[in-house]
Amino acid sequence: MSQVRFTRGGAVALAVLGTRLPVLLVGLLAVTFVGTVPPPVREAVWRVSPDEITNMLARWDTAFYYSIATDGYAWNPAIFRHENVVFFPLYPLLMRWGGWLLGGHPLAAGLVISLASFTAAMTLLHRLAALELGEDYAWPALLLISSFPYALFFSAVYTESLFLFLSVGAFYGMRRGYVGRAAALGLAAGLTRPNGFWLALPLVLLAVAPAQHPGIATRRSRLVAFLAALGPLAGVALYSAFLEWRFHDALAWLHGQAAWGLPLLGRPSAPDPAPLANVTAIKPTEVLTWIGNIAAFLIAASSIGPISRRFGHAYGAWLAVNLFPPVASHLFISIGRFIAVLFPFFFWLSLRIPRSRLLHVAAAFTACQLLLAAWFFLWRPVV
> How high is the pLDDT of residue 145?
97
Of the pLDDT bands very low, low, confident and very high (cuts 50, 70, 90), residue 274 is low
The stretch 114-130 carries a mean pLDDT of 96
Buried b or exposed e, range 191-226, using 16+ CB within 10 angstroms: bbbbbbbbbbbbbbbbbebbeebeebeeeebbebbb
Task: Examine the pLDDT at 4 and tell me if it is beyond 80.
Answer: no
Task: Examine the pLDDT at 97 and tell me if it is beyond 90.
Answer: yes
How many other β-carbons are positioned within 10 Å of the β-carbon of residue 1?
Answer: 10
Of the pLDDT bands very low, low, confident and very high (cuts 50, 70, 90), residue 119 is very high
CA 205-321-75 angle, 5° bins: 120
Task: Examine the pLDDT at 355 and tell me if it is beyond 60.
Answer: yes
Of the pLDDT bands very low, low, confident and very high (cuts 50, 70, 90), residue 310 is very high
> How high is the pLDDT of residue 62?
95
Per-residue pLDDT reduced to its tens digit, 23-38: 999 999 999 999 887 6
Task: Examine the pLDDT at 167 and tell me if it is beyond 50.
Answer: yes
The stretch 54-76 carries a mean pLDDT of 94
Q: Which residues contact 190 (CB under 8 A, 6 or more apart)?
A: 196, 197, 199, 200, 231, 232, 233, 234, 235, 236, 237, 238, 239
Of the pLDDT bands very low, low, confident and very high (cuts 50, 70, 90), residue 88 is very high
Of the pLDDT bands very low, low, confident and very high (cuts 50, 70, 90), residue 265 is low
HSE-CB at 21 with a 13 A cutoff on CA atoms is 7
Task: Examine the pLDDT at 262 and tell me if it is beyond 80.
Answer: no
Per-residue pLDDT reduced to its tens digit, 179-219: 999 999 999 999 999 999 999 999 999 998 755 555 555 66
Q: Which residue has the higher pLDDT, 318 or 286?
A: 318
Helix/strand/coil percentages in the chain, nearest 5: 70, 0, 30
Lowest mean pLDDT among 41-45, 53-57, 199-203, 272-276: 272-276
Distant-in-sequence contacts of 309-317, Cβ < 8 A, 24+ apart: 310/348, 310/351, 311/132, 311/344, 311/347, 312/205, 312/206, 312/209, 312/212, 313/205, 314/171, 314/202, 314/203, 314/205, 314/206, 314/209, 315/202, 315/344, 315/347, 316/344, 317/201, 317/202, 317/205
> How high is the pLDDT of residue 277?
57
Nearest to 377 by CA among 56, 129, 116: 56
Average confidence score pLDDT of the chain: 90
Rounded to two decimals, the pTM is 0.93
Task: Examine the pLDDT at 253 and tell me if it is beyond 70.
Answer: yes
> How high is the pLDDT of residue 275?
57
> How high is the pLDDT of residue 282?
64
Of the pLDDT bands very low, low, confident and very high (cuts 50, 70, 90), residue 1 is very low
Per-residue pLDDT reduced to its tens digit, 328-341: 888 888 899 999 99
> How high is the pLDDT of residue 221?
76
